[in-house]
Structure 1
């Protein structure tokens, strides 16, 4: 079995493939997967390239990608790579630079290595279990904010597709509560950057009222390794089966959670 250090190196090399493609290839054809959910030629190319690379260097691991899926058990004994080839596809397709490639290795239901790159911002993040979190090879930590009125909090995208109105009622309630209590509310359109920026201390918290492993696994690991509390709306530790993803600097965790509407 490969060591964690070897797996982290592989993850960084893999997202490096996506870094170059995302930076240098136009979106090409933009297709609709479902209601207001799109995929570009770049998404498909990155997923294919990364999957092929990982199958060569880690043939023992399974693979789960956002675009092409995979038959995996994230809580099983087999290691699973999970990839979002372009996190923030809508941003990318519209020329908004807030997008990236997010890759994590899941072992026994938890991410143990993760790498995120945001090529248009020149940012490369990586983390491994109990080894810290890094941006451009500089170790990062969460902010030391202790007052909610001084906190910048990002939120995940509003829902689309079936039951969007019902789901968005809760999101709108959250937005209203935050707007009345925090310094600023932000919606970046990329779960990977939401979590990485909490890890880096650019923001103080993110609240994403959904949880897809390819969107969040790498960022969850980054945030944890940088000192964030990573939980769900029930204030229990975040897991691969959580329905929400909340990362927050410890100083405002209790006061922030009071604002999150329960299901």
Structure 2
């Protein structure tokens, strides 16, 4: 275990693999079958993990790796039993990458004692590196991040997301629809963008005022949660409780936006 970590070294490793993906962006045909899609997603995982392990193993030889499988709902309910490990989302927004659309990132988090100690989200297209260390603030490249201070819902940007669970028998589609309706009825601007972690980093940067998701998606959230928290955002469930690993939903916002959304919800 290392109390101090080489932050520039981690950022360089993430930048390296992100820029490798950038060089090949839009050069491969868009997948036309499920087999093609799954094969390319597996290739992403292999390339990303191989590159990061190669660059980080000398300094962190004893820290194990976990590729966060966002399709595996059960594994996301609790952190692993390991004291410390890397949690890697090889590409958040991989479908956008495959479809030749902007909105994909490389996400990496160092988990210690069941919570993120350090996380980074790299957007190669924008050349923006969002990162945070627990208790030490959040940054984009070298600029410290602070959340928005808006108070008027009419000029707030709210975003909604959803995960990959089977929603056919658990009423999640209805719940998501109800949440989107609340947003449309009350917030001036409502969007769905795609890369979960990047949107949480955008909350930290004041670009998004509220992020909400009604289903479990821990692996997609975890890197962005630390960045948003360190920039001053509220990290809650959609009923206003403190978010914990395994919570079934997520509300991340600046304080005014969170309070106003929860007030709207309580009246319905």
Partner of 1:44: 46
User: Aligned equivalents of 1:76 and 1:9: distance in 2?
Assistant: 28
State the secondary structure of the residue aligned to 1:21: helix
Deviation digits for residues 80-125 of structure 1 (CA, Å, limit 9, x no counterpart): 2111111001111111111101111111121110100011122111
Segment drifting more, 127-136 vs 233-242? 233-242
State the secondary structure of the residue aligned to 2:41: strand
Partner of 2:2: 2
Q: Paired residues, what number?
A: 258
The structure-2 alpha-carbon separation of the partners of 1:2 and 1:160, relative to structure 1 and needing over 3 Å to count, comes to closer
Any residues of structure 2 matched to 1:16-165 within 5 Å, and which?
16-26=15-25, 28=28, 30=31, 32=34, 39=41, 41-66=43-68, 74=79, 76=81, 78-157=83-162, 159-160=163-164, 162-164=166-168
Residue ranges of structure 1 left out of the alignment (5+ in a row):
none
The structure-2 alpha-carbon separation of the partners of 1:205 and 1:171, relative to structure 1 and needing over 3 Å to count, comes to same
- 200, 207, 217: which one pairs with 1:212? 217
The structure-2 alpha-carbon separation of the partners of 1:253 and 1:4, relative to structure 1 and needing over 3 Å to count, comes to farther
State the secondary structure of the residue aligned to 1:81: strand
User: Aligned equivalents of 1:162 and 1:38: distance in 2?
Assistant: 23
Residue 252 (structure 1) aligned with residue 254 (structure 2): no
RMSD over aligned CA atoms reads: 3.0
The structure-2 alpha-carbon separation of the partners of 1:168 and 1:51, relative to structure 1 and needing over 3 Å to count, comes to farther
8 A Cα contact 1:131 1:225, kept in partner:
yes
State the secondary structure of the residue aligned to 1:149: helix
8 A Cα contact 2:201 2:224, kept in partner:
yes
Residue ranges of structure 2 left out of the alignment (5+ in a row):
none
Partner of 2:241: 236
8 A Cα contact 2:67 2:87, kept in partner:
yes
State the secondary structure of the residue aligned to 2:118: strand
Q: What is the CA distance between 1:198 and its match in structure 2? A: 0.3
State the secondary structure of the residue aligned to 2:136: coil
User: Aligned equivalents of 1:260 and 1:190: distance in 2?
Assistant: 25
User: Aligned equivalents of 2:223 and 2:101: distance in 1?
Assistant: 22
Residue 169 (structure 1) aligned with residue 198 (structure 2): no
State the secondary structure of the residue aligned to 1:15: helix
- 215, 227, 231: which one pairs with 2:232? 227
The structure-2 alpha-carbon separation of the partners of 1:14 and 1:60, relative to structure 1 and needing over 3 Å to count, comes to same
The structure-2 alpha-carbon separation of the partners of 1:126 and 1:162, relative to structure 1 and needing over 3 Å to count, comes to same
Q: What is the CA distance between 1:10 and its match in structure 2? A: 4.1
